Amino acid sequence: MTLVQIVAFGPLAEILGWKEKTIPLPGPTTPFLVIEFLGIEDWANGGLTYYVDGEMCDAHSVLPEKCELALLPPVSGG
């Protein structure tokens, strides 16, 4: 079991209905498996970036136990 503290930013926080949540996942896990679990895997091809404990990683990096996973959607503006 891997405990992951997820921090969602921007529209992801609105879609999920929360900004921070700690969830237990069957270990080992990756950022992509987390977004699948959350039902937001459509964001994977839309420029979503992942940070684990403050460092950028790719979608298939294995997450360490008790880490913080930040999900950052692409920035858009006008």
Instruction: Say if 46 falls within a structural domain.
Output: yes
Structure tokens given for 69: 């996973």
Q: How far apart are CA 69 and CA 58, in angstroms?
A: 11
Q: Which domain holds residue 53?
A: 2-65
Tell me the average pLDDT of the chain. 91
DSSP string, 15-75: HHT-SEEEEEESSS--HHHHHHHHT-GGGGGTT-EEEETTEEE-TTPPPPTTEEEEEEPPP
Instruction: Say if 73 falls within a structural domain.
Output: no
Domain total for the chain?
1
- What pLDDT score does 28 carry? 87
Instruction: Say if 71 falls within a structural domain.
Output: no
Instruction: Say if 23 falls within a structural domain.
Output: yes
Instruction: Say if 6 falls within a structural domain.
Output: yes
What is the model's pTM?
0.91
CATH code, 18: 3.10.20
